[in-house]
Amino acid sequence: AQSGTVAADPQQYDQAYLSPVTIGNSQLMLDFDTGSADLWAFSNETPASESVGHAKYDSSTGTELQGYSWSITYGDQSGAAGNVYADKVVVGGVTATKQAVEAATSISTSFSDNTDSDGLLGLAFSSINTVTPKQQTTFFDTVKPTLAKALFTCDLKQGNAGSYTFGYIDTSKYTGSVTYVPVDDSQGFWSFTAGGYSVGSDNATSGSVGVSIADTGTSLLYLPAAVAKAYYAKAGGKFDNQQGGYTLPCNGNAPDFNVAIGGKTFVVPGSYIAYAPITSGSQTCFGGIQANTGIGFNIFGDVFLKAVYAIFDVSQGAPRLGFAAQ
Ligand SMILES: Cc1cc(CN)n(C)n1
C-alpha cells in the first residue's frame, strides 16, 4: 500500500501554496485545490506568450484521450481549458500510473501572471471534474484503492512550508484530539456545517456560521455577512468599496476569530486576519475574513486551514473531515 508526503510552499502573503509534482518526465509546482477536481498544467500546447516563466507538462510522454476536452472557471473568475492525456503522476512518492492530465491550450491572465504556479491539482470530489465526454478522477480518487488509508491531510502554515500527506495521518503535526464532522459531498465539495463563533478572548461561541466548504485553493475565510460585520466591529475595521472588501489596521491588535466545529472551538489568530497591507508599506491591511455575499455558502480557505491540521477522510465509507489544533 502507498503513502507519502509532499511540501506545501506558501506564495507571498500565503495567497496560495504550491507543491512539486512529477507528470511524465516533467516536474511542476501545482496548487493543490480541495475546492476543484481537475488536474491541469501549463503544457507544450499552451501558447508560448501565455506560458512565459512557467514549467510545462510535455504531453509527448502521455497517451492522448482523443476527442476529450476540459474547461474550468473558478470562483475568482480565473480559468483555463484544453486537451486530456493519461500519464504517470507522482506526488510525494505516491504514484498514479494512468492519471488524467489536463494540458492547457488556453489560460486566463491571472494564471499566466503568477509564474510560481504551473497549474492545479484538484482534490474535491470527482463528480465536479470538467472533462468531457467522459468525466475523469482526481489524483486522490485514482490512487485511493492503493493507499494504506483512504485519506489525505493538509498542514498549511503561515509564511512557512507546510505539507500534504496521502494515505496516512501524521500525529506529530497536531496537538490534542481530532474532531470529525460529516461531509455532504452532493455538490462535489468537502462541505460541512460550522457552529457558533466568537471574536477575541470571549470564547463562548454563539450564533451559527453554517454550511461551509474546506477549500485549500481559496486564500481567505468567507463567512456570513453578519459574522464578518461583527468581527470588524470589534477589530476596528471597515468595509472599503474601493478595496472591494473589509480592511483593518495592520497594527498587530486584530482579535482572534473562534469557531466551533463538531463541538470543539478552533482559533484563527488575529495575525492571520490582518492578511496583507492594501499597498506595500501601508498600515491598513486587507481582511482575511470577508463576507460570503453571492457565494451561497462559507469558504474555509487558507486563512482558516493554516490554523488547523485537516484530514480529508473517505476511509469510513461516508466522507468526513477531521480537524485538530496545530
Ligand atoms: C484558481 C482558483 C482555485 C480556487 C478555489 N477552488 N479559486 C477561488 N481560484
Over the stretch 158-167, which tens digit does the pLDDT of each residue have?
999 999 999 9
* Residue with CA at minimum distance from ligand 1 atom 4: 217
**Cα distance between residue 287 and residue 323, in whole Å:** 23
* Residue with CA at minimum distance from ligand 1 atom 1: 74
Closest ligand 1 atom number to CA of residue 120: 1
pLDDT at 131 over 90: yes
Q: Is the CB of 74 under 6 A from ligand 1?
A: yes
Under the banding of pLDDT at 50, 70 and 90, the label for residue 202 is confident
- For residue 75, how far is its CA from the centre of ligand 1 (angstroms)? 6
Q: Is the CB of 13 under 6 A from ligand 1?
A: no
pLDDT at 291 over 80: yes
Q: Which three cell numbers stand for residue 176?
A: 490534542
The answer to whether the pTM exceeds 0.95 is: yes
Q: Which three cell numbers stand for residue 186?
A: 452532493
- Taking a C-beta distance cutoff of 8 angstroms, is the pair 21, 121 a contact? yes
pLDDT at 174: 98
Residue 289: CA atoms inside 13 Å, Cβ hemisphere, count? Answer: 30
CA dihedral 8, 10, 14, 18 (to 10 degrees): -60
Over the stretch 37-81, which tens digit does the pLDDT of each residue have?
999 999 999 999 999 999 999 999 999 999 999 999 999 999 999
Under the banding of pLDDT at 50, 70 and 90, the label for residue 180 is very high
pLDDT at 4 over 90: yes
Q: Is the CB of 218 under 6 A from ligand 1?
A: yes
**What count of other Cβ atoms lies within 10 Å of the Cβ of residue 48?**
8
pLDDT at 269: 98
ipTM over 0.90: yes
- For residue 201, how far is its CA from the centre of ligand 1 (angstroms)? 32
Closest ligand 1 atom number to CA of residue 299: 5
Name the residue type at position 76.
D
pLDDT at 205: 82
79 burial level (CB within 10 Å; 0-12, 13-18, 19+): middle
∠ CA(305), CA(264), CA(225), 5° rounding?
60
Closest ligand 1 atom number to CA of residue 301: 5
pLDDT, averaged across the chain: 98
Over the stretch 297-310, which tens digit does the pLDDT of each residue have?
999 999 999 999 99
pLDDT at 8: 98
pLDDT at 294: 97
**What count of other Cβ atoms lies within 10 Å of the Cβ of residue 312?**
23
**Phi–psi pair at 276, nearest 5 degrees:** -165, 145
pLDDT at 203 over 90: no
Over the stretch 221-273, which tens digit does the pLDDT of each residue have?
999 999 999 999 999 999 999 999 999 999 999 999 999 999 999 999 999 99
Over the stretch 71-107, which tens digit does the pLDDT of each residue have?
999 999 999 999 999 999 999 999 999 999 999 999 9
pLDDT at 204: 79
